[in-house]
């Protein structure tokens, strides 16, 4: 491709937002996508996009702001997120939302408060879920100035401070090296599909099911690290139970206990979700059984016979509820309420949704080296970036931040 201005690695939300932004600015763009089609993890997502939006929020008496969004993210991530990155995201999210709508993408007219979000600022696509962004952006990239090369696997980079950064990739039997004028934007997703990388950074998750794209194997991430890029927060992951019915059972800690394969309780059930998952992962088989209590007064909540191995744990918990003291694990007495029948049982096995660690970047999406200095011509956006959210991320923030930093990266590449 002659007169190549920009190479974008990955054709998910971040990559396609970057490509569309670059085309709008008149650049010649090459998108390298490892798979045979675009989408990545975005295509598998629910499509929630978090952003302040006065036009939708004020009419329903929701008084939101980028500052409130900033504080919510900082709190939800236990203060571990990078303040400058969070600020760049929360102040840029409304602009990214408006940009998508300006070019024709359709969101529902209202906002919602999704599970795992702290405020009603979630926007849903009218047509479909995460794949709707991919289909829409692809339809708006029918331009001679943008080429998407599928089946192109990036295997390395060549860095020389006196020359622009080069990308080495394989396509079919060919190995190709290209050097764009303005830089390279990495949007290749996380590393959760690599059990080696997952287990190296958080051994308890070794062998856990991953719900995202199998192409998110960390290959581009490690190639960037090979030329000196720094990684951050690699042990932080977004977890899920992978089943909305089980998620409902976990909403009220007064209504269930967790028992392991030996039939014993092993933690207080009023832990926050990530800590609860970690406690489960420490058990044999990396799973636990949920014993859910109900009144037994209707057909939906009939008593269920439980396995004998759970009887002792249930009896001990009933006694703790009677005396309002969980001496074994310290569950808040507020949740120690009279236990009825066990009406449901289910297996809780935490699954991986996304990695929250990855390349260290600054607020301009520059990838930083191990001396915390920008690597000339190298930028990143989306799940390949680490350090934004800290230990946890609300639904909808990952997708929106991918769009924000993708657009930031293009502008920074051009110094606009």
The pLDDT tens digits for 197-232 are 999 999 999 999 999 999 999 999 999 999 999 999
What is the pLDDT, as a whole number, of residue 294?
67
What is the pLDDT, as a whole number, of residue 306?
86
Half-sphere exposure of 121 (CA within 13 A, CB side): 27
Q: In whole angstroms, how far apart are CA 400 and each of 58, 185, 395? A: 21, 17, 10
pTM score over 0.95: no
pLDDT digits (tens, 9 = 90+) for 281-292: 999 999 999 999
> Measured in Å, how far apart are the chain's first and last C-alpha atoms?
24
pLDDT digits (tens, 9 = 90+) for 234-252: 999 999 998 888 888 898 9
- State the average pLDDT for the chain: 94
Question: What is the percent of the chain where pLDDT is above 70?
Answer: 97
- d(CA 184, CA 376) in angstroms, rounded, equals 10
What is the pLDDT, as a whole number, of residue 296?
44
Question: Is the pLDDT confidence value at 255 over 70?
Answer: yes
**DSSP code of residue 300:** G
What is the pLDDT, as a whole number, of residue 360?
98
Strand, coil or helix: 191? coil
Question: Is the pLDDT confidence value at 295 over 60?
Answer: no
Looking at 105-109, 302-306, 322-326, 409-413, which range is the least confident one?
A: 302-306
């Amino acid at each position: 491709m002659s007169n190549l201005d920009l190479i974008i690695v990955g054709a998910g939300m971040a990559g396609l937002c970057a490509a569309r932004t670059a085309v709008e600015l008149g650049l010649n763009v090459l998108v390298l996508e490892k798979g045979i089609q675009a989408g990545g993890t975005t295509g598998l997502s629910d499509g929630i996009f978090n952003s302040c939006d006065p036009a939708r929020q004020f009419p329903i008496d929701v008084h939101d702001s980028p500052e409130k969004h900033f504080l919510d993210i900082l709190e939800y991530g236990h203060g571990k997120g990078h303040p400058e990155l969070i600020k760049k995201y929360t102040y840029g999210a409304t602009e990214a939302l408006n940009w998508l709508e300006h070019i024709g993408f359709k969101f529902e007219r209202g906002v919602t408060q999704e599970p795992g979000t702290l405020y009603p600022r979630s926007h849903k696509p009218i047509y479909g879920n995460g794949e709707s962004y991919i289909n829409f952006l692809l339809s708006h990239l029918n331009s001679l100035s943008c080429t998407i090369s599928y089946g192109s696997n990036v295997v390395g980079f060549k860095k020389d401070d006196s020359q622009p950064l080069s990308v080495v990739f394989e396509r079919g039997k060919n190995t190709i090296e290209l050097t764009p004028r303005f830089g390279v934007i990495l949007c290749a997703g996380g590393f959760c599909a690599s059990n080696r990388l997952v287990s190296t950074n958080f051994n308890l998750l070794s062998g856990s099911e991953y719900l995202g794209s199998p192409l998110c194997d960390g290959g581009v991430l490690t190639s960037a690290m090979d030329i000196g890029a720094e990684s951050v927060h690699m042990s932080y992951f977004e977890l899920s139970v992978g089943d909305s019915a089980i998620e409902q059972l976990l909403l009220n800690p007064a209504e269930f206990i967790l028992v392991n394969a030996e039939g014993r309780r092993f933690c207080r059930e009023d832990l926050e979700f990530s800590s609860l998952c970690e406690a489960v992962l420490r058990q044999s088989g990396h799973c636990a059984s949920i014993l859910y209590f109900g009144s037994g007064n209707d057909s939906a909540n009939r008593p269920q016979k439980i396995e004998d191995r759970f009887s002792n744990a249930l009896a001990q918990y009933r006694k703790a509820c009677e005396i309002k003291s969980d001496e074994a694990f310290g569950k808040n007495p507020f949740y120690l309420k009279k236990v009825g029948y066990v009406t449901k049982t289910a297996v809780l096995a935490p699954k991986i949704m996304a990695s929250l660690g990855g390349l260290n970047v600054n607020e301009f999406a520059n990838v930083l080296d191990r001396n915390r200095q920008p690597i000339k011509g190298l930028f990143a956006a989306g799940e390949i970036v680490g350090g934004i959210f800290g230990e946890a991320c609300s639904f909808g923030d990952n997708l929106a931040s991918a769009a924000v930093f993708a657009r930031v990266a293009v502008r920074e590449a051009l110094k606009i």
